[in-house]
Amino acid sequence: MTSIEEIIDAKNYTLLFEQLDGNIADTLNSILSSNYNLIQKKSVVEQCTEHLIKSGLVKNIASACDILSHYSLYDHLNNQLHIQASDLYFNADDLSSAANELTKLNFDLLESIDSKLDTYIKIVRLYLEVDDSISSESYLNKAATVIHTTTNKSLILSFKLSQARILDYKRDFIRSATIFQQLSYEADLDYEDRLSSLSAAIVTAILAPAGPKRSRILASLYRDERSRSTQHHIILEKVFLERILSADDIASFAEHLSAHQIAQISYTHNNVDEQGAKHTPTNVLERAMIEHNLLAASKIFDNITFTRLGALLNLSSYGAETIASTMIVQSRLEAYIDQVDAVIVFTPSHATHEGDLGGAAHVAAAQEDDRQFEAAYAPHTHGWDAQIKSVASLIEATAAKIEEKGLV
């Protein structure tokens, strides 16, 4: 049988590649343990690497990676093999394996900071596609350490989008909605991408814990004319106007949610009372809707018994009391509990009154948020608004002087 040295000396690469495909481990190990100097070995291994990449056989590429990983001299070749393996897994819709291959790269050998950042973000997005938010967050944190060093707008926007999605997975819905809303104003994104970001902002805002912060961002989203173009406008309107949502409203909204947004949440095994009513919500969506309906009820009733509140929220009286007390402690509900009479008494502040669309204080705060967004993302619009206000003030002052002098 012809030895590896004889094949290499004869430059018979066809035979070398045949042996490589037949038994990649023995062939590579024979090359690496041969008597050739490092330059010669490296040249031959490079030829083998190119052949493996062209062959597209992911098993052979993976075997070569395992062998070359023990030799730091070939790290750059190993990087090429891992990238090719990742592409092959991606084309086969094995996104988890595609991400795993990229995590094995020697990142110090990547050409630039932008290349490293781009790879981190690819890993984050691949893991997110398979709902592995923990691994995604790990590489997002790595990207966060270098994101400030780039001026590449595309990478910055990809980072922000990944950040918003991970916050969504972590159920930090307020922060997620804020970033999605910011992205919806980005002129560098296509209109469809901006509208998609706006839609994501609406969903995460609706799922956020009921309270002033949620009301503020809901008001800002509701007044955005583009929200009428999204599939969530109807429920956004009902939530913003603090109407009680029916089971049909919730079921219709749930059809458009991702799996993690309707994921089960932990609760005790004895989660129902003697009548079969639940003590606690069983998933993320249900918890958000129960809190919303409780806040909506506070706009309708002056007080309500725990039993009636439980029936309204589809919870036991104990569950209704628990949800209400939690929201009161967290300053998300203005009320107090009378445990003697088993009643919750709603105490809206002077800033809110019947007939307000979401509460005057919430609307005013949302208007301030809009002004800040316009200043940051639409400076010309912000300037026009200021000029219009200035002209309107002059007209009003002139009209007052005319009336004062009796010219009308």
pLDDT at 270 over 80: no
Q: Tokens standing for 363?
A: 């609307």
Residue among 155, 162, 118 at smallest CA distance from 140: 162
**What are the contacts of 2-6 at 24+ separation with CB within 8 A?**
3/30, 4/30, 4/31, 4/34, 5/34, 5/35, 5/36
What average pLDDT does this structure show over 235-246? 93
Q: Is a pLDDT exceeding 80 seen at residue 404?
A: no
Binned at pLDDT 50, 70 and 90, residue 369 comes out as low
User: Count of CB atoms within 10 A of residue 149's CB?
Assistant: 12
Cα–chain center distance at 171: 9
More confident residue, 380 or 5: 5
pLDDT at 324: 93
Mean pLDDT of the chain: 86
Query: pLDDT tens digits, residue range 11-26?
Result: 787 888 888 888 888 8
- What gap in Å lies between CA 379 and CA 329, rounded to an integer? 40
Average pLDDT value for residue range 311-317: 90
* pLDDT (0 to 100) of residue 361: 47
For every residue of 350-364, DSSP letters joined together read TT--TT-SS-HHHHH
Q: 95: which 2 tokens?
A: 């996104």
Check whether 289 has a pLDDT greater than 90: yes
Tell me which DSSP letter residue 314 carries: T
Mean pLDDT of 52-65: 90
Is 1 or 202 the better-scoring residue by pLDDT?
Answer: 202
Helix ranges, 265-408 (H): 284-300, 306-313, 317-329, 360-377, 379-404
Per-residue pLDDT for 354 more than 50? no
82 pLDDT above the threshold of 50: yes
85 vs 82: CA distance, rounded Å: 5
pLDDT, residue 294, reads 94
pLDDT score of 77 more than 90: yes
- Note the maximum CA span of the chain: 117
